[in-house]
Chain A
């Protein structure tokens, strides 16, 4: 008789619950956790909405209609999916290395600034450059601006070991204030009647709309950014799973000591990963202003950079699963807008749902790694 048995035997209760580690993780578990989390998150959210005196069924019907109810709605969901895919991919790459880049929101704003600055001022100075060339330049600039903004915390982490969670987050506020400064002071459109807006970008520089896919109305707003997102997902998948570099990122993320002993250069990889991570968020911001807003203004993102974190986590950092999750959250954001329009609820309500879903995913993790076993105590 072992010590453990004696202890339990004394209690007199013949059953006990044991948390046991699963030896094999069944496939159904990893599939069902996210689905169940979303369902439970929505149900709990309904309770909270109801507690605030709003009919949750009416609210959810309005949300579903807003996100999927028509061809136009579906298009709008795709529109919101675009920045989420790009920023989500960026965040997920950093998370693979256990680099907590919470700064996608700021990197996105910097990408938007770079794109907007070029679109507003350069084409009239260089009329010989073709519009499609500008498209390439602006995309590259969006990437570069996001990458540089992410390299500030990246370098601080790589060389001085400064906590990147705080620095990336602080820089979000700074980046948003930069946008506010630019649209209120130097880049403000004199014809904006005092609103914090720049002039509209020249029409030929707008990101082209995708061809009218079968499920979209002719007046849909889905733009080329969708293609950028899908290409980025595939490229990232290939790099992460098939290249030596992707392997290094994984090893560093799992065990930094082992990676160092294996001769992997950690500081360098921190810089590379942060640059790509921020760059993708920068492209997201570029795409949002060049494809949808067509100018810079106060508030260009309803928290895409924060939602991207959840998406990355829900997709288990898998680049090909991520676009699907991004689509679901795009729907959630559109639905949130709908709640504001038709029921007067604050847009931030979608943050409640996002937070709840995340809680359930985290809780559900234990289901996939552990199993609860009720067993009879042998005497």
Chain B
């Protein structure tokens, strides 16, 4: 083990973990409000394709990323309408959103497969980037990575330390009581589902504008589902979500590291690792949850009907 290998692995872990981190934090917001949105994969794909296309047309990855957030948010509103207003089944609605998103992104993105586009470039942060080792790993990245560094502690602070965060948790734990306390349950659920969709869209754009710039059909390769799994691993806590995402990124990048080190495992088995890792992580998290008695938000997946308990 040499420092070059370690720093390369860490850098790769951060790069691979960032798209998932966005999606995971987005899903944490939605689930904290009591809305289970299994459409993350579909929203990420739509974010990836629209971020890429808008970036290409405007010449600015920034506009692309914003468009991806908007599209992800709009996608999530379909799910919000079905599950919050119409009280439909959230599992099925989320699945439908994923199918819809993967189909629509393929249709919209068809002319753009393999077309070179725009991408975020690395910003070297003055001074900080010159710290030995850490500077190279943390402060020579692109703006999407820096934004995620800011996002996860802020999301944690918001959810656990602020009044609106308390309202958010109340709506997901006990909507009837929240309602009685004067909190608008429906409005907040819509809002946080929308935020979840925006972050999933941004996660998708992180793939198509930064991680592996370009558009290929189905390019998220299950990362949306991995994010849904990581939410459980994270106990609905953005700090643990960061840990999980970077761990996942590490496993993901280890496959390339091992290949360059001359380990001859067939690539198919290396590609299986992230999925198997997600299952493993889920098993341990479930056991730890039982031990520490951390539950999912109590009203997760249950539509709120006024006057019904």
| Residues in chain A within 8 A of chain B (CB atoms) | 48-49, 52, 100, 102, 156, 160-163, 165-167, 169-171, 173-174, 177-178, 180-181, 184-185, 306, 309-310, 313, 344-356, 358-359, 362-363, 365-366
Contact = CB atoms under 8 A, between A and B. Distances in A.
Contacts, number: 144
12 contacts: A48-B107, A156-B279, A160-B286, A162-B279, A163-B232, A173-B222, A180-B268, A185-B268, A344-B110, A352-B104, A355-B96, A359-B93
Most A Cβ at <10 Å: residue of B88, B100, B106, B110: B100
Contact of B38 (A161, A165, A352): A165
Contact of A351 (B100, B222, B275): B100
Contacts of B279: 156, 162, 166-167, 170-171
Contacts of B290: 161
B275 A171 contact: yes
Contacts of B87: 366
A271 to B, nearest CB: 17
B78 interface: yes
A54 to B, nearest CB: 9
A352 B100 contact: yes
Contacts of A359: 78, 82, 93, 96, 100
A351 B222 CA distance: 16
Contacts of B226: 170
Interface string B95-137: 1111111111011101000000000000000000000000000
B266 A181 contact: yes
A169 B98 CA distance: 12
Contact of A161 (B78, B89, B229, B286): B286
Interface of B: 38, 42, 78, 82, 86-89, 91-93, 95-104, 106-108, 110, 217-218, 221-222, 225-226, 228-229, 232, 266, 268-269, 271-272, 275-276, 278-279, 282-283, 286-287, 290
B91 A165 contact: yes
Given A170-B229, A180-B268, A52 B108 contact: yes
Contacts of A358: 92-93, 95-96, 99
B103 A178 contact: no
B282 A351 contact: no
B88 A363 contact: yes
A52 B99 contact: no
B239 to A, nearest CB: 21
Given A160-B286, A358-B96, A169 B222 contact: yes
